Amino acid sequence: MFEIYLIRHGQTDWNTEGRLQGHTDIHLNDQGIEQALKLKEKLALINFSAVVSSDLARAHKTAELVLEPRQLGIITTPELRERSLGRWEGFLWSEYNQWLKEKVSLESLTKDEYVAFKAEKNIESYDEVYTRVKNCITSNAASLKGSTVLFASHGGVLAAVLYNLDFRPGHRWLVNNCGYIKLRVDARGEFSLIESDGVQLIKGW
């Protein structure tokens, strides 16, 4: 029915420090702005009919920079926010990963177990993220028929989509700042992955 480009925001200072951001509203740094302008060049020939962004500043600003000077209003929604990481937001990834490894062996989980896994009550599972993002994308499907839409979001959101569409046991998806995946959405609201840029599949956690 329609196609979407689901992009990750540009770099922030917390990205460079290796900190968990989640719902914490961190702005792009200078490198992040440059990355967004390079993504603008990559997507310059795409005729977007609509733009939807996470309401967090780093995603919204990325969408603004990618779109300039197009005259398209940006719809903002919390449904495209990064995965909530509860009390761990602001901590280093290395600290979180060490704690996580003491709780569970992620390598041994099946797809259903992995996407449903919640390390703590206030940490979203990938399945919860995927559900809200899919709802955001498909809720206006009828009006988007035949169009191409830009969705500006976060690395954990793109990972949630990738884990649901292409889970590989013992591997994790890594999405670079301003990486993207292109999806086709069919009449049933199902996704198929047709293109990616700045996305890596890495063995182990």
Read off the pLDDT of residues 17-40 as tens digits, 9 standing for 90 and up. 999 999 999 999 999 999 999 999
**CA 142/CA 131 separation, integer angstroms:** 19
Asked if the model's pLDDT at residue 88 lies above 70, the reply is yes
Among positive and negative, which fits the CA dihedral 51, 55, 57, 59?
negative
Residue 154 among the catalytic residues: no
Question: Around Cβ 197, how many Cβ atoms within 10 Å?
Answer: 16
Residue 17 among the catalytic residues: no
Site of tokens 């996704």: 191
pLDDT at 143: 79
**CA 95/CA 122 separation, integer angstroms:** 17
pLDDT in tens, 97-117: 999 988 888 888 899 999 999
- Which of the following is catalytic: 60, 79, 82, 89? 82
Residue 197, φ and ψ in degrees, nearest 5: -150, 130
92 pLDDT tier (thresholds 50, 70, 90): very high
pLDDT at 56: 98
Please give the average per-residue pLDDT across 6-18, as a whole number. Answer: 98
pLDDT at 62: 98
Locate 172 and state its tokens.
Answer: 């994790």
pLDDT in tens, 148-199: 999 999 999 999 999 999 999 888 999 999 999 999 999 888 999 999 999 9
Asked if the model's pLDDT at residue 205 lies above 70, the reply is no
140 pLDDT tier (thresholds 50, 70, 90): confident
Nearest to 193 by CA among 167, 165, 173, 171: 165
pLDDT at 112: 95
Element (H, E) at 185: strand 171-185
203 pLDDT tier (thresholds 50, 70, 90): confident
Show the domains of the chain with their CATH numbers: 2-203 (3.40.50.1240)
pLDDT above 70 covers what percent of the chain?
100
Look up the pTM and report it: 0.95
DSSP state of 180: E
Asked if the model's pLDDT at residue 63 lies above 90, the reply is yes
